[in-house]
Chains A and B, each alone.
Chain A
Amino acid sequence: MRKTVQTVSGKPLNLSDYEQALLEGEAGEAMQFVMQLVVRAARIMDAPRLLETDYLHMDACHYYGRAHLDFARYLVNSNIRFGIRAWTNTVPASLIQKEVREEADAVVLKEARELADLYIAMGAKPVWTCAPYQLPGSPVFGEHIVVAESNAVSYFNSVIGARTNKYGDFLDVACGLTRRVPEAGLHTDKGRRAQIHIDLAKVPEELRETEFFCHVLGHLMGRVSGNRIPVITGLPAKTPKDSLKALAAAGAASGAIGLYHAVGITPEAPTLEAALQDRPAEAFYRVTPRNLVEARDSLSTTAGGSVDMVALGTPHFSFTEFARLMPLLDGRKIHSDVAFYVSTSRHVAALATQKGWIEALEKAGVTVLVDTCTYFTPAVRGCKGQVMTNSAKWAYYAPGMLPVKVAFGSLRDCVESAVRGEVARDPTTWSARHWGVSE
């Protein structure tokens, strides 16, 4: 007789014959173990059943310690492989470039590379990017998917309308191998209803059209939303994907936002009422110019002065971001005291190479880094002192992870500062008036 599993609230977790067979060990001990992980999570999340998935973007390939390696070794030794699209997140240091920090731990680097190889052996597609949504063949509207990287969770849920919870270590791989996710949270209609209404009516329209603004708005949105799902009104209809990426990344960093809606832009928010599923918002927040300037300024931990490094591409630089960077550089050279890094995926780097951009960038003194991110400990040389970035996510995380002070600015400000060797912000776009604060 079949043993029924009960969730934490005492409801039954209904399993199909296939799921039950895995749980009983009919596909071997390792598959039984990963199914046990999925079922354990489903119990805690109070899911009535499991849903089918055929896409995984895993973070378990990123080395954080020996336990990660032992988990992957165990699976590989058990001869199990992914039967679905399984893509890889960034790793601590590039797998094909030699760029690492002088102080990087050789054992960690070796084990990190072994871990990456193990997931390739399990059939993962080695894309090594935190922005998988920029790649062809990525998930589409309505798909149930398994994603671990916080900015990708938010982008897929918000901008694409695919459905994923934020999957932690091990569970991401377990869901991918069993091809099942618990029916709970952001996989359900009810779990996607907006809770807090964020309105931009008081923000100057010209400002709303900049990507720089979306980084700041994302940071503020994360702080005011906490665990609630926000819906934004007043974001321009033509807001580009790169700005929506900035919103996703910054909101997931400063808050726990796994999904945001933007009326007239994101697919589940044709209207405010649709995003709220015809119920009143639980909270309302009107963004004021003063809130914005305060949020913007909180992203810098240095007042100015010399720049030692510029970090672009958190999350990974897109093709269109490269297209915007090129004319800003316009044949000029990066100051010899500045290390200028752009992090991106191999896929986007290949497209930029075809355009001749990578060669031009290297000539100007820019290093294009693939597979990794500049805030991971072993990834790049010279990451100390004062760092300029256009990424709210980088600005939010780096001071806690690295011995650096951060100056936050626009993409244009980053380029100008890199050429001059000191923090240089456009006085017009940085002015109180531009941000709508009356003097």
Chain B
Amino acid sequence: MSCRSLPVLDILNPGTAHGTVLKLSEPLSFWGGFNPVDGRIIDQSHPEVGKSITGTILALPGSRGSAGTPGGVAEALRRNVGPVAILLAQPDVNITIGAQVADHLYATETPVLALAEIEFAWLETGMQVTVSDVGVAIKEDGGIKS
């Protein structure tokens, strides 16, 4: 078997993308906790502070706090410093609206998918994945758990 496929709980924003997973261990606020100019996490209390999310398949539990998250997501996508796809452990309105607005205004295509927690748990930083409307395909040589 060359691939493992994770089923999708819900397609929050449609699209296809492939890339390398960056998995965050905690939710992120895209306003205040993230810099939409350079794509880096700036929340000093966040475990992945300092990491760049640019070009990644960003896997995270959800967004935190601020109603500014949609603006932060849209601004990062406008500047091409956002992720190429977002995978969530539960549906998230603020992240989805940010991606949907960017896709409409800037003709980007940033899939946002919600996975069941048990499927989300399979994802690890460094995995090569393809995201589409049918699911998340993980390449076997991308560091999959055996």
Known: A66-B75, A67-B78, A168-B93. A44 touches B69 (CB 8 A): no
Inter-subunit contact A170/B74 (CB<8 Å): yes
With beta carbons under 8 angstroms apart, the residue of B10, B13, B66, B75 that contacts A8 is B10
Inter-subunit contact B69/A169 (CB<8 Å): yes
Inter-subunit contact A150/B31 (CB<8 Å): no
Inter-subunit contact A171/B97 (CB<8 Å): yes
Inter-subunit contact A169/B96 (CB<8 Å): no
With beta carbons under 8 angstroms apart, the residue of A167, A169, A172 that contacts B98 is A169
B83 at the interface (CB under 8 A from A): no
Nearest B residue (CB) for A45: B93
Interface residues of A in 1-16 (CB under 8 A from B): 8
Tally of contact residues, B, Cβ under 8 A: 33
Nearest B residue (CB) for A397: B32
* Chain A: minimal CB distance from B83 (Å): 16
With beta carbons under 8 angstroms apart, the residue of A8, A70, A166, A400 that contacts B105 is A70
Q: Mark A13-51, 1 if CB is under 8 A from B, else 0.
A: 000000000000000000001001100110011000000
Interface residues of A in 114-157 (CB under 8 A from B): 148, 150
B65 at the interface (CB under 8 A from A): yes
Nearest B residue (CB) for A70: B105
Known: A169-B98, A171-B97. A40 touches B70 (CB 8 A): no
Chain B interface mostly: helix
B12 at the interface (CB under 8 A from A): yes
Neighbouring A residues of B105 by C-beta, 8 Å: 67, 70-71, 74
Neighbouring A residues of B72 by C-beta, 8 Å: 64-65
* Chain B: minimal CB distance from A410 (Å): 28
Neighbouring B residues of A64 by C-beta, 8 Å: 31, 68, 71-72, 75
Neighbouring A residues of B97 by C-beta, 8 Å: 37, 40-41, 168-171
Chain A CB count within 10 A is highest, among B12, B13, B91, B97, for: B97
* Chain A: minimal CB distance from B10 (Å): 5
Interface residues of B in 66-104 (CB under 8 A from A): 66-72, 74-75, 77-78, 91-94, 96-98, 100-102, 104
Neighbouring B residues of A67 by C-beta, 8 Å: 71, 74-75, 77-78, 101-102, 105
Known: A64-B72, A64-B75, A67-B71. A168 touches B12 (CB 8 A): no
B115 at the interface (CB under 8 A from A): no
Number of cross-chain contacts by CB at 8 Å: 90
Inter-subunit contact A44/B101 (CB<8 Å): no
A347 at the interface (CB under 8 A from B): no
Inter-subunit contact A37/B100 (CB<8 Å): yes
Chain A interface size, as a band, is: 20 to 34
B36 at the interface (CB under 8 A from A): yes
* Chain B: minimal CB distance from A44 (Å): 4
Inter-subunit contact B70/A168 (CB<8 Å): yes
Neighbouring A residues of B65 by C-beta, 8 Å: 256
Inter-subunit contact B93/A148 (CB<8 Å): no
With beta carbons under 8 angstroms apart, the residue of B93, B98, B106 that contacts A44 is B93
B21 at the interface (CB under 8 A from A): no
Nearest B residue (CB) for A6: B10
Chain B CB count within 10 A is highest, among A65, A70, A148, for: A65
With beta carbons under 8 angstroms apart, the residue of B13, B78, B94 that contacts A168 is B94
Known: A45-B93, A168-B93. A8 touches B100 (CB 8 A): no
Inter-subunit contact A44/B102 (CB<8 Å): no
Inter-subunit contact A65/B100 (CB<8 Å): no
The complex places the Cα of A169 from the Cα of B70 at a distance, in Å, of: 6
* Chain B: minimal CB distance from A360 (Å): 37
Inter-subunit contact A168/B75 (CB<8 Å): no
The complex places the Cα of A400 from the Cα of B44 at a distance, in Å, of: 10
A54 at the interface (CB under 8 A from B): no
A59 at the interface (CB under 8 A from B): yes
Inter-subunit contact B92/A168 (CB<8 Å): no
* Chain A: minimal CB distance from B118 (Å): 17
Q: Mark A45-87, 1 if CB is under 8 A from B, else 0.
A: 1000000000000010000111110110010000000000000
The complex places the Cα of A64 from the Cα of B36 at a distance, in Å, of: 10
* Chain B: minimal CB distance from A256 (Å): 7
Inter-subunit contact A44/B12 (CB<8 Å): yes
The complex places the Cα of A67 from the Cα of B110 at a distance, in Å, of: 16
Neighbouring B residues of A37 by C-beta, 8 Å: 97, 100-101
Interface residues of B in 102-141 (CB under 8 A from A): 102, 104-106, 114
* Chain B: minimal CB distance from A194 (Å): 22
Nearest A residue (CB) for B105: A70
Nearest B residue (CB) for A36: B100
* Chain A: minimal CB distance from B109 (Å): 15
Inter-subunit contact B9/A8 (CB<8 Å): yes
Inter-subunit contact B71/A68 (CB<8 Å): yes
The complex places the Cα of A67 from the Cα of B97 at a distance, in Å, of: 13
* Chain A: minimal CB distance from B8 (Å): 11
Known: A64-B31, A67-B102. A40 touches B67 (CB 8 A): no
A sample of 26 cross-chain residue pairs with beta-carbon separation below 8 angstroms, ordered by A number, consists of A8-B10, A36-B100, A37-B97, A64-B31, A64-B68, A64-B71, A64-B72, A65-B36, A65-B74, A66-B75, A66-B78, A67-B77, A67-B78, A68-B75, A70-B105, A71-B74, A74-B105, A150-B67, A168-B67, A168-B70, A169-B70, A169-B71, A170-B98, A170-B101, A171-B93, A256-B65
